[in-house]
């Protein structure tokens, strides 16, 4: 073969190698661009969602407290304790301040049994509320009807004492709070 043909073939081979290298470099650049775009989207969404804070943590996370004092009226008779009280009243009603005071004073006693509270003002508890004392029924949860306010002492899943109305609860305060 002549030197001229060898030179042309050599140039063709060099061009092919150069074009393959260029194609490989373009592929790497495109792949790098896609990865960078994905990383950028991640950081944008992480900052937006609060996972990452650029300027310090202004909203410190508050530890979650599980509130096990307020219960629903439907769970009046299924607590784990053998004996407990359930104080039912509308948290926004006329008896609210008195209900809070009774609960706080009672739970400060050293030998007190557990007391739960039920907000009769909540929509899911409203079906248990009656206005007439003669309609009060605390035999079981399926027939439960109470007045606002009502104090129930539960023992072994059954109501052993029921004080319906503010007057009856007031009569029991001295016994309850001593």
- Render pLDDT for 76-108 as a digit per residue (tens, 0 to 9): 999 999 999 999 999 998 899 999 999 989 988
Average pLDDT over residues 113-136: 91
73-177 fold: Glutaredoxin (3.40.30)
Structure tokens belonging to residue 59:
């909203």
10 Å Cβ neighbour count for 141? 14
Neighbouring C-alpha atoms within 13 Å toward the C-beta of 75: 13
Q: Which of the pair, 24 or 118, is modelled with greater confidence? A: 118
Sign of the CA dihedral 97, 100, 102, 104? negative
Segment (H or E) for 43 = helix 3-49
Domain boundaries, the chain: 1-58, 73-177
- Side-chain half-sphere CA neighbours of 167 within 13 A: 1
- Token readout for 109 is 């006693």
pLDDT tens column, 28-56 = 999 999 999 999 999 888 888 777 777 66
DSSP code for 90: -
Examine the pLDDT at 132 and tell me if it is beyond 80.
yes
Between strands 150-155 and 115-119, the pairing is unpaired
CA distance 172 to 166: 10
Q: How far apart are CA 162 and CA 84, in angstroms?
A: 12
Separation CA 46–CA 59 (nearest Å): 15
Between these two residues, 2 and 146, which has the higher pLDDT value? 146
- Give the separation between CA 45 and CA 126, rounded to whole angstroms: 42
Q: Are 128 and 152 in contact (CB under 8 A)?
A: no
């Amino acid at each position: 073969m002549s030197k001229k043909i060898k030179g042309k073939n050599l140039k063709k081979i060099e061009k092919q190698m150069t074009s393959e290298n260029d194609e490989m470099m373009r592929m790497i650049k495109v792949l790098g661009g896609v990865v960078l775009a994905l990383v950028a989207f991640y950081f944008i969404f992480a900052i937006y969602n609060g996972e990452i804070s650029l300027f310090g943590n202004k909203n410190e996370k508050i530890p979650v407290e599980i509130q096990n004092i307020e219960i629903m009226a439907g769970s009046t008779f299924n607590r784990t304790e053998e004996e407990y009280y359930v104080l039912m009243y509308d948290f926004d009603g006329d008896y609210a301040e008195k209900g809070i005071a009774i609960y706080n004073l009672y739970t400060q006693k050293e030998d007190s049994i557990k007391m739960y509270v039920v907000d009769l003002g909540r929509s899911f508890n409203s079906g248990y509320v009656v206005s007439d004392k003669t309609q009060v029924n605390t035999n079981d949860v399926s027939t439960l009807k109470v007045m606002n306010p009502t104090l129930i002492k539960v023992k072994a899943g059954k109501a052993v004492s029921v004080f319906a109305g503010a007057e009856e609860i007031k009569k029991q305060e001295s016994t309850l709070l001593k």
